[in-house]
A = this chain, B = another copy of it.
Amino acid sequence: MVYITRREHFSAAHRLFLPEYTDEENLSVFGKCSNPNWHGHNYILFVTVRGVPDPVTGLIIHLRHVSKLIDDRVLSKVDHKNLNLEVDFLAGKVPTSEILAIGIWNELAGGIRQLGGELHCIRIEQSENNIIEYYGE
């Protein structure tokens, strides 16, 4: 079993808040991430797939197929977008990196399986100091 990771990145705006809260309540729960006029990040995304290398080609999976899948199912939806307003798989949710990682897992797991691998981990670096990992369970 070998693990292969593809690194991608995207830039997006978001705001952490609950509409039923006042601005003060949102500030106390979400801190400066609740700024009503949005803010944004460069997100670094690591998608890890596991599998057994093919005995002939030495490959687990065609990484450019993984890359295309990530592009179709994730990057095209989130890059240079507003995570609160424009992303189908985040609709109705607070777009924390935790929720984003789970959402990206759900977007990719099936497609990875069709490519012959198994999705192992979604890792998101929201900044160099804040990192989220989700293993699907």
Contacts and interface: CB of A to CB of B under 8 A. Distances in A.
For A30, A42, A46, the residue with the greatest tally of chain B CB atoms inside 10 Å of its CB is: A42
Contacts of A97: 4
A35 B82 contact: yes
Copies in the complex: 6
A58 B6 CA distance: 26
Contact of A132 (B2, B29, B93, B98): B2
A45 to B, nearest CB: 11
User: What is the interface residue range for chain A against chain B?
Assistant: 35 or more
Majority SS at the chain A contact face: mixed
Interface string A1-12: 111111111011
A74 interface: no
20 contacts: A2-B98, A2-B101, A2-B102, A2-B132, A4-B131, A5-B130, A7-B129, A7-B130, A11-B41, A13-B40, A16-B58, A32-B79, A32-B80, A37-B82, A40-B40, A42-B128, A57-B94, A58-B93, A58-B99, A59-B98
